[in-house]
Structure formats: structure tokens, C-alpha cells
Amino acid sequence: MQNIRVTVVRKLLKGDLVNGSEQWLIKHAIYYNRHDLTQKNTLMFVNRSETINWEEIDKKGPSLVISDKPLEELKKALPNTTVIRVKSTLQAYWKFIEYYRGLFDIPVVALTGTCGKTTTKEMIKHMASKDWNVQASISSKNEPRQSLPYLIGIDETTKAAVFELGLGNTGNIKHQCMIYRPTIGIITNIGVHHLDGCKNLEGYIKAKSEILEGIAEDGTLIINADDDNTKKIPLHTFKGKIITIGVHSKADYKASNMQFINNGMKFTLQVAKEKYSVFVPGYGEHQVYNAVAAIVAVKEMGMSIQHAISRLKTFKPMARHLEMSTGLKGSTIVDDTWTNNPTSVEAALKVLDTIGKDKKIILILGDIKRLGLFEEKYHREIGSMVAERNIQMLITIGKRAEHIAEQAKKDGTAAEVHVFKDVAGVLELLKPKLDQDTIVLIKGPMSSRSMIEFANHLKEI
């Protein structure tokens, strides 16, 4: 955080000094009881309804409390705690956010999409970090409550920022964009997920489209021209520049001649009349989309395409993203337990279509969560996708995933199908089937610790 004197904040918020000194520097900021108070010199916004632990706050002093609580409550503050009373904590919070974000004239990238957000974000960070100090969201920790700490992570040394936008419910993306005020937005794709919070696919698409209003008016939006659901968002309302990427459709940045080679994908990227040869570590057409979106983003941030391509070569694919390892008897284990939704399952199956040619394929598929009233529908669609392929064995784990097995059998799959409630007994079934001609894909929800541990065990035995 860029250090700010308390008196500057008091004047900004037009608050009243109730207790303590205002002649010290704020070095951290949190929303009380949403974020942990771990450091001294912390500003904290405290809602009227919150119970304040004055002793805890004072031990981390000097501390600054900004609140609209009654005056008699705020006067209970201890000597090492500065208190500023405001008319509305919420309004003060947003006023501070607006002020702090306004201190920095830097490119800020915000990403949304059903799949590819974290990988694309990490690619952008990887390519940009060689030249710039880049502030970025951590892993796939993209919940709206993380937005304040991520924003505060920007300081006077930061040259660029890249943040993932989490979506659980309608309004989440709008909220995060109000904090980050991105100059560049990316929609990787729009598949199916979070239907419990967005009610249906139409609501989910509408929630994703909130990014349109969140990008600066003179900003840039990067979209996937091949993605059908992205075409359903009201792009005509966006006032900035739109850049398209694609493989199958006409696009500003178009990838072609894709090849699976050792440890990654090789392809040709055409931009206007120029053609570039690109290599991206990691397998699959979806990885090509991620790479092209990342290249466009850093180009918009000021990097040449050639430099971006050169740096992309050294990108390290993320763990549990179609991570390939050698397992028992020389078998190939593909660990894709990072996330689980219909779009990512289809992407994984497409990768197997290529790397699994002339191999025996075993699928281990777990429950897909957060599909609301449409759980059975989308699990059955996956069952149909499985039935279309030459799969030796299908193993489902979990109650929801039973629909995958049922539909695969209904559609006439030639695979041997087994249904499990949990991972117990799966290894015993697998062992006799494994050899150097076998590929095992294990795909389950990030929340399933047992499936993650099972995948790790398969890679270790």
C-alpha cells in the first residue's frame, strides 16, 4: 500500500476525530471482520452492526477505525487507536476506494469467464513481470471480499495490475469493477456455472456482461469470437475498443495450424497481415485461446507481440490443470482437479481426443457443483459427450456424477462403467487396468479434497 497520513483520510472523508492522533502513516487497510487484522498502522472500516474488540485493535496500534457507530461506543477506544466518525461507513469506504484507485495511472486488467481466467491471468503476469512490478490476484482466489486487499497491494512501485473477477451471484463482477476500475477487460468464454446464484444460463450470461460497464470508457475489451454465449452479451453498449480472438471465426488475433508438440501447443498467430509462430506450454485448444488473450492484453499494456511470444515460451502451466505425470506401470495420469464445470470437462475430453489416440482411456469424473436446478441436465450432457468417444472405462464419483454414468450407458457407450459414492475402492479397480498404453483423466471439483488426494496418490504410486 502507498502510505497515507491519517489527516489526509480524515479530510477526504469529512469525518470527525473522536480519539487518538492523526499524525501517523496508514500502511494497510481492511474491512473489519471481513479481513484479518494482522499488522500495525492499519486502517479499518467498521460497520455500525459490528462488535468491536478494542483491546485487539489497540495491540496492533497505531490503528485507525472509521465508523458510523454511535459516539458513545467510539469513545471506548484505547490510547493507541485513532477513531474517525463518519456519517456512513459504506459511503466512506467507497470514497476511500475511489481516492486510492485514483492515485495510480497504470494499466489494470480484469478477467472473467467460465474457464481460463486463472491461467490467462498467470500468463499475463508472467510476461509482464520481467519488465514491471505487477500486482495480481493470488491463484484463483477471486472472491469479491478479496478485492480491497488486492487493490491496496498496488503502491507507487506498481506498473501494472491483473485481477480475476469472481462470480457467485449477480452483481459480483460489477462490485469488483467498481473497486479495480480496469482499463482492459477479458472475457475468456461463457459456458455454464454458478447457476445456483444466477438462476439460469441467461442470468449467468447477464452477470458476466457486467464487465462491460466496469471497464474505463476509453478502455479495451478482449473477447472470444468463437464463443456463442459471449455473442449474447450487449456488446453494442460498450464504449471502448473491442478486440476479438479466435480459432474458427474471423478475428483480430486469429490462431491457426495448431499442433500438439512436446509439452505444449505450437500455432500460427495472424494479426492483420503479420504472422507469428507461437509456442505455449500446456495442451489443448483452450490453452491456445488463453495464450492469445494474454498476448493481446500485454500488447495493449505496451509490450510488443514478439516480446510477448518470447516470454510465453517460459510460462509454467499451473498445477492440476491437465497436469500430466507417469503413474503405475508407466501409465499416464492427467490431473485436472483444479476446477470442474461442463466447459472444462469438454475441453479436457478434446485434449484426450488427440493425445489419447491409440491409447486406452479411463475417465474418472466427479460431481459438478453450483449448477442449481440444472444439475441433472448438464451431468447428462457430459454423459453423452463421453458416449461419443472411444473410452475403455468410465468411473464416476459422487451422487451428481451418477447422471453422467446413466446417460453414457443410455447413449450406448462401449466403456465399462462403474459408479462410486467416493474414492474408496477406485484404486483397487484401476490397478489391473494400468499399463504404458493407458491414460487416466481424473477430474473433480476443487472442493473435493478426497479426489485431489486420490489424484496425487495416482501420480506417486
| Residue ranges of the chain whose pLDDT lies below 50 | none
State residue 231's pLDDT score: 97
Residue for cell digits 476443487?
446
pLDDT of residue 167: 93
Please answer whether residues 266 and 281 qualify as being in contact, where contact means their C-beta atoms are separated by less than 8 angstroms. no
104-313 fold: UDP-N-acetylmuramoyl-L-alanine:D-glutamate ligase (3.40.1190)
In terms of DSSP bridges, do strands 28-31 and 184-187 run parallel, antiparallel, or are they unpaired? Answer: unpaired
pLDDT digits (tens, 9 = 90+) for 317-326: 999 999 999 9
Stated pTM of the model: 0.95
φ, ψ of residue 304 in degrees (nearest 5): -75, 155
Work out the end-to-end distance of the chain between its first and last CA atoms, rounded to an integer number of angstroms.
Answer: 45
Q: Determine the pLDDT at residue 461.
A: 72
- Nearest residue to 289 (alpha-carbon basis) of 278, 302, 299, 300: 278
CA distances from 90 to 48, 77, 331, 418 (A): 10, 21, 56, 53
| Architecture of the domain spanning 323-458 | Alpha-Beta Complex (3.90)
CA 181 to chain CA mean position, Å? 17
Output the nine-digit C-alpha cell for 128: 509482464
pLDDT for position 445? 83
Q: Kindly state the DSSP code that residue 35 receives in the 8-state scheme.
A: B
Residue among 186, 200, 204, 9 at smallest CA distance from 95: 9
> CA–CA distance from 375 to each of 158, 161, 206, 404 (Å)?
43, 36, 20, 11
Residue 175 CB: number of other CB atoms within 10 A? 16
Across 262-350, the runs of DSSP E, i.e. the strands, are 264-271, 274-281, 323-326, 332-335
Are 57 and 46 in contact, with CB atoms under 8 Å apart?
A: no
pLDDT of residue 31: 97
What pLDDT does residue 78 have? 97
Percent pLDDT > 90 in the chain is 97
